[in-house]
Chain A
Amino acid sequence: MRLVVVSAGLSVPSSTRLLADRLAVGTAGRTAAEVRVIELRDLAVEIAHTFTNGFPPPPLADAFAAVAEADGVIAVTPVFSASYSGLFKSFFDALSVTDEDALAGKPVLIGATGGTARHSLVLDHALRPLFAYLKAVVVPTGVYAASEDWGAEGLDGRTERAAGELAALMTGLSGADRPRPRRDSFEEVVPFEQRLAALRPAG
């Protein structure tokens, strides 16, 4: 079983990455999933090039393949200007133009970090709709960590609850009838007669 962690933190060390790691440890402990972390900072230039070139450069294509093949995804972003960071959104934009069904039916745990708890609804006002649009199954509990949370009670409880929910979805949804492997338009050619016939006027 494979768990992919997408972290959009920029500083080193990063509290976004710290939250992502805690969520990953909690999930992996319940599923024995193999964890791969994708640091978007390392792919920032490749992400931009996907927009200028139309195709992802090899390291990013590799990250996209990992996301597409994952049984579950943890996606964590810092809050910038009242929303997810541009880099975070760009990664998922570039992913969806490359493979529009990469996240379809996939369990996704969302997390965000910020300087103040006043931004905590970013999870439900920004991240949740984004992943709903991408047809992911978003875990009910999202985890927001403000700076003050790292020195307060409660974060560990939320982290554990969210990780437990993701693990349950990953094991529950990983049965034989998963929609993966992903659609490949080269292997599913609609025969031309069928395409032509569909345009023929009735009668």
Chain B
Amino acid sequence: MQFGIFSVGDVTPDPTTGRTPTERERIKAMVAIALKAEEVGLDVFATGEHHNPPFVPSSPTTMLGYIAARTERLVLSTSTTLITTNDPVKIAEDFAMLQHLADGRVDVMMGRGNTGPVYPWFGKDIRQGINLAVENYALLHRLWREEGVDWEGRFRTPLQGFTSTPRPLDGVAPFVWHGSIRSPEIAEQAAYYGDGFFHNNIFWPADHTKRMVELYRQRYAHYGHGTPEQAIVGLGGQVFMRRNSQDAVREFRPYFDVAPVYGHGPSLEEFTEQTPLTVGSPQQVIEKTLAFRDYAGDYQRQLFLMDHAGLPLKTVLEQLDLLGEEVVPVLRKEFAKDRPAGVPDAPTHASLLAGARKDVREDVREDVREEGVRA
């Protein structure tokens, strides 16, 4: 199972000091956080994509390319890449390029975005959100697998004989996750392709996440990719830890109370009861995270949101130390227990490449057999 962090990339004043970091400071902080993730033994760093203040990460592959050069093991991903408003041709090119630079340590999470005006800013219509996700991804999927693509659709200029470059590393497309909080259509899309499904699991009650994941698992099996238990599921989560849980609550409350997304709403206590947010000791985080399996089944990837709401970099790095040293090692051990044999690991470039070579070998054997029959 993979563990990692995902960042929204918000530039938010620290409510305890009133100080707002500059964009440069925030961008550099995201990089420092990614490097720290590798240092403490996490597997994945994912960045959001936004095109409006107060967010900085408008250009994820630029940032991930830089991080790739400064890391050895970390898988670089997104949370999410806007499949609706980006040109699928450019996504195909950017992520294939990143694959080469990062020696395959790349996957990507598709999402529709949650900011209405982004659609018109990029010449799109938000009412077509689902259809854009469907059509754009269908094209992207082909561009990574075929050369000389002829294509015609509703939302983009047609292509005749188009080959996106560079070709994916070793001819293997980056693994794709489809992220959605509330649209069953996207769970269905992920299932259709046999791709991964990611639920951000942050703002919504567990019961809702459960229904989305169940639908994806059922439809994954329906499309013949394996059993429901073999579907590739990722979950988000949100934690703030101190060794003593009272200290965690005391320190996080001022950030929670005015946080951009849920601030000025329910109390910290209500929110932790109703959603997967955990504020407390590493042990409490371990217990709550292990319980995700009760409603999502055995899953492949757990990402935590750690750097948001104006938390200072120093605090976030301390959080990552706790996560890497005290939480994730226990989670790895506990999640491995009772994990049914058929449940796969999250796909990586190496595993996808091995799978592709095996398919080729089987095809060759098939050809040889046919030759034999003819002879």
Contacts and interface: CB of A to CB of B under 8 A. Distances in A.
B58 to A, nearest CB: 24
Interface string B21-57: 0000000000000000000000000000000000000
Interface string B177-203: 000000011001101100000000001
B262 interface: yes
Contacts of A54: 203-204
Interface stretch (B103-111, B131-139, B338-346): B131-139
| Most B Cβ at <10 Å: residue of A53, A190, A201 | A53
Nearest to B218: A189
Interface stretch (A35-43, A68-76, A134-142, A191-199): A191-199
Contacts of A192: 134, 188-189, 191-192
A201 B215 CA distance: 29
Contacts of B135: 196, 199
Nearest to B128: A199
B133 to A, nearest CB: 10
A199 B134 contact: yes
A81 interface: no
Contact of A58 (B215, B262, B274): B274
A167 B270 CA distance: 40
Contacts, number: 63
Interface string A42-63: 0000001100111101100000
B333 interface: no
Interface string B265-288: 110001100110000000000000
A133 interface: no
B147 interface: no
Contacts of A185: 184
Contacts of B188: 189-192, 195
B265 A201 contact: no
Nearest to A55: B204
Given A190-B185, A201-B154, A52 B264 contact: yes
Nearest to B214: A186
B211 interface: yes
Ordered nearest first, which 5 A-B pairs have the shortest CB separation? A52-B265, A192-B192, A49-B266, A199-B135, A185-B184
